A and B are shown apart, each in its own frame.
Chain A
């Protein structure tokens, strides 16, 4: 029943997207003209209003606040309704969802866009859920967990034992708040993105960039001497090779969070694109006969995405923990194994 409802909603929200580019393009003469590429790009991108769905010509849209700063005219705050359908307000207008000033001045756009709103919803949801869970512990003490508490407890224990303890070692406790927050933030945002009409928050490069940079900063701030010794004087490398090795190691530092950023962004965005593409087939073929096949594939991808949602959250958290672990580890085992000598291996196996 739920699935059916979802499928229906999905269909509705897609008709909305399908007709939207037409509505925004002034010179579009026929509403039959469907551009799946533009629809998909529009869906995975950010926007200044939250377009839920359309029924024929009726659009159900929530207009979000626009907050813009320009060096000359200062801060402007108003509803994005003022900018709908290409209107100009306070010298600002939207060009392909990009806020520009009519006089060409540089605009710093701090609007509460669809993604920012989703970010706030996800954050509020997390606060409510986990403070409720925490209250459950306060109330029941050491008794067995119940309700929402018993759903999240295994996950929290998993992050603590399988991710933090195994990757970071004895100093794991300091990093638990960040690891748990990042895991649940990514997971919740991924799930919110899968809801019909939901924003593609974790598939936005700005979001994944921020998370990756925070991971990088935590890694750098918790790094010890050993970590830097590795970079500037890699053990077992001749002095003459150091000018090459140092850039190589420095590239490594930057690449780790970069790959985190790209992976999350690419996976979530790709998932959305694939789901939307399957459903777009209906509109491309303009044939209701293709709908069941297309919907079935769309649904299949959707359930795959449910899995990907938690998997990507796990991978991001795990790799973050591993990078932190690499920065705080004390021993030098890794150096001896680098040469590929078999002698060091069994010693570690003990």
Chain B
């Protein structure tokens, strides 16, 4: 009950390093999710030669949503 936000307080150097690495991983994943899905949409639009870039738009939004969802999940996992 003392610290409900962070059950595993980083009490030593290795744990702190671990936390830093973890959160850097989360950030990287967020960027990669949006980037990858946008790129996939772009590729699909190019491949099917769509007039309006629906794939780009749709996948970008999906990527944005996925990134946010994964970040929220990863952060609320807490440990």
Contacts and interface: CB of A to CB of B under 8 A. Distances in A.
- Whether the complex brings A and B within 8 Å at their CB atoms is answered yes
Interface of A: 158, 162, 166, 244, 247-248, 251-252, 254-256, 258-259, 262-263, 314-315, 318-319, 322, 334, 337-338, 340, 342, 345-346, 348-349
Nearest to A163: B18
Contacts of B4: 342, 345-346, 349
The secondary-structure label for the interface of chain A is: helix
B28 A158 contact: no
Contacts, number: 75
Contact of A162 (B14, B25, B73, B76): B14
A251 B14 contact: no
A188 B24 CA distance: 23
Contact of A248 (B18, B25, B31, B62): B62
A162 B33 contact: no
A255 B77 contact: no
5 contacts: A158-B14, A251-B33, A318-B21, A345-B5, A345-B78
Contacts of A254: 36
Given A318-B21, A346-B4, A259 B66 contact: no
Contacts of A162: 14, 18
Interface in B1-53: 1, 3-5, 7, 14, 17-18, 21-22, 24-25, 28-29, 31-33, 36-37
A248 to B, nearest CB: 4
A255 B33 contact: yes
A248 B69 contact: yes
A248 B71 CA distance: 12
Interface of B: 1, 3-5, 7, 14, 17-18, 21-22, 24-25, 28-29, 31-33, 36-37, 62-63, 65-66, 69-70, 73, 76-78
Contact of A348 (B7, B25, B62): B7
A315 B63 contact: no
Given A251-B36, A315-B25, 14 more contacts: A166-B18, A248-B62, A252-B66, A255-B36, A258-B36, A314-B17, A315-B24, A318-B21, A322-B22, A334-B77, A342-B4, A345-B5, A349-B3, A349-B4
Contacts of B65: 244, 248
B35 to A, nearest CB: 9
Q: State the 8 A-B residue pairs at the shortest beta-carbon distance, nearest first.
A: A248-B66, A259-B32, A349-B7, A259-B28, A345-B4, A255-B33, A315-B21, A251-B66
Contact of B78 (A259, A315, A337): A337
A140 B63 CA distance: 55
Contacts of B7: 345, 348-349
